Amino acid sequence: MTKCSSEKVFLSRNEIYELIWSKPFTTLSKEYNYSDNGLRKICKKHNIPTPKAGHWTKLRHGKSSPMKPLPKGVNTKIELNIRDEGSKSIHTNSQLAKIKNELQNSDLNYIVPDRLSNPHPLVKKAKEVLKNQKLGWYGKGQDIIYSSGECIATEVTRLNIPRALRIWDTLIKLILQRGHEISNEKKSEFLIYDEKFQIRVREILKKVKANDSSWELYEMIGSGILSVKIENTYPVKEWRDQNTKTLEQQLLSILAKLELLSEKKKQFKIEREAWHREYEEEQAKKKAREEKVAEELNNFKQLFDTATRWHKSQYIRNYIKEFEEHSIQSGSLNEGKRKWIKWAREKADWYDPFVETEVDLLKEINRNKF
């Protein structure tokens, strides 16, 4: 795939074939700037077979729905327009293709052997557990043997235990050879670039009519189709046997997806931490401003209270002056009035913010409360 801009991509005929059979048209129409019918017309023009109605429903229920083979033709580059919201998906596909290419060119052996040889300790433990486990002791699968909780999570019929263990053994060894680790916290958890992933190998269940019942009763039993499922991701990612590709042939894709999901988890954490830092900085700025506003208001209140006190102290002094002059003019100034004038001036000095003479009886009184 060659990307020429943020709005167009060039896909080969083979790439479009793989794309059409990787996800429903309804999903693809959200990524590419075409309707369902628009995508079908492109496929028809270039003689690319498309899934029939019900194909994806059958796969979800563990039923067979094989891919139609791609007829021979010129593998030309086909221009497609992508939606803005689909660019992330295109980028993800590009990242996945890059990882797959790296894995394909590595020295890793993805072939699952016909017999279990020198199994990993986790696989040895699973073999012992599954050998002695009773049927259908947990869940809905009546003929399924479970090892969850005791070792690597495995849920298959007894007939498929050897195959499941071989898949497990190859997958674990691939994970370790890539430098990843096994978690010490949980039995079926792996650290891919230090990010935790819980993996389960299970047999897809199918619904069948109960043989020993005259009623229309059904039970769930193993279908013979195995899958590898990554539990703690959204949406949940699962690979299963297909008519054209067995689970054993998909280990490279599984490993590549695990590494991509790990990178995405790391990127999400980086973005979340950056957002958190930005949020904390904004909150700190907001708090600092609120404190400055509070300080400003407090200073203004002090200014207002002080100015008010000064104004009132001058009002008191003017009154005392008028009282004294009136007493002199009226000839009524006596010893008692002189004492009162002295007392009043002392109180004016006590209240005046520029003087604030101490008065013994008013030591515990807040001047600003008046």
Are 130 and 234 contained in the same domain?
A: yes
Does residue 67 sit in the same domain as residue 173? no
What would the pLDDT profile of 156-206 be if each residue is shown by its tens digit?
999 999 999 999 999 999 999 999 999 987 778 999 999 999 999 999 998
In the structure, what pLDDT confidence band is assigned to residue 139 with cuts at 50, 70 and 90?
low
Do residue 99 and residue 177 come from a single domain?
no
- 77 lies in some domain: yes
Is 338 a member of any domain? yes
Contacts of 202 (CB under 8 A, 6+ apart): 153, 154, 155, 156, 226, 227, 229
pLDDT of residue 3: 43
Q: Per-residue pLDDT for 296 more than 90?
A: yes
Neighbour count for residue 183 (Cβ, 10 Å): 13
Per the prediction, the chain carries an average pLDDT of 87
- How high is the pLDDT of residue 369? 80
Mean pLDDT over residues 251-273, rounded? 91
Q: Is there a domain that residue 260 lies in?
A: no
- Evaluate if residue 10 carries a pLDDT over 90: no
Is residue 231 pLDDT above 70, yes or no? yes
pLDDT at 21 over 60: yes
For 70-106, write each residue's pLDDT tens digit. 888 877 788 887 765 544 555 567 788 888 889 988 8
Task: Write out the residue range of the structural domain in which residue 137 sits.
Answer: 109-241
**Statement to judge: residues 237 and 113 lie in one domain:** yes
- Residues whose CB is less than 8 angstroms from the CB of residue 189 and which lie 6 or more positions away in sequence, other chains included: 182, 183, 196, 197, 198, 199
**Distance, CA of 270 to CA of 75 (rounded, Å):** 40
Same domain, 100 and 113: no
Say yes or no: 101 and 124 in one domain.
no
**Residue where a domain terminates, one of 64, 82, 105:** 105
Q: Given 3-state DSSP classes, what are the helix, strand and coil percentages for the chain, each rounded to the nearest 5? A: 50, 15, 30
Contact 136, 72 (CB under 8 A): no
pLDDT at 267: 87
* Domain count of the fold of the chain: 3
pLDDT (mean) for 301-322? 94
Q: Is residue 269 part of a domain?
A: no
- CB atoms inside a 10 Å sphere around CB 104: 11
Indicate the residue among 105, 131, 163 that finishes a domain. Answer: 105
Strand order through the sheet with 2-3:
2-3, 8-12, 77-81
- For strand 189-192 and strand 153-157, is the pairing parallel, antiparallel, or unpaired? unpaired
- pTM summary value: 0.60
Residue with more model confidence, 362 or 60: 362
For residue 136, the model assigns a pLDDT of 60
Residues 6 or more apart whose CB falls under 8 angstroms from that of 1 comprise 9, 10, 11, 12, 15, 93, 94, 97
Structural domain ending residue among the three candidates 86, 105, 124: 105
**Residue 135, domain member (yes or no):** yes
Beta bridge partners of 141: 220
Winning range, highest mean pLDDT, from 15-29, 196-210, 287-301: 287-301
What does the radius of gyration of the chain's CA atoms come to, in whole angstroms? 41
332/3: higher pLDDT: 332
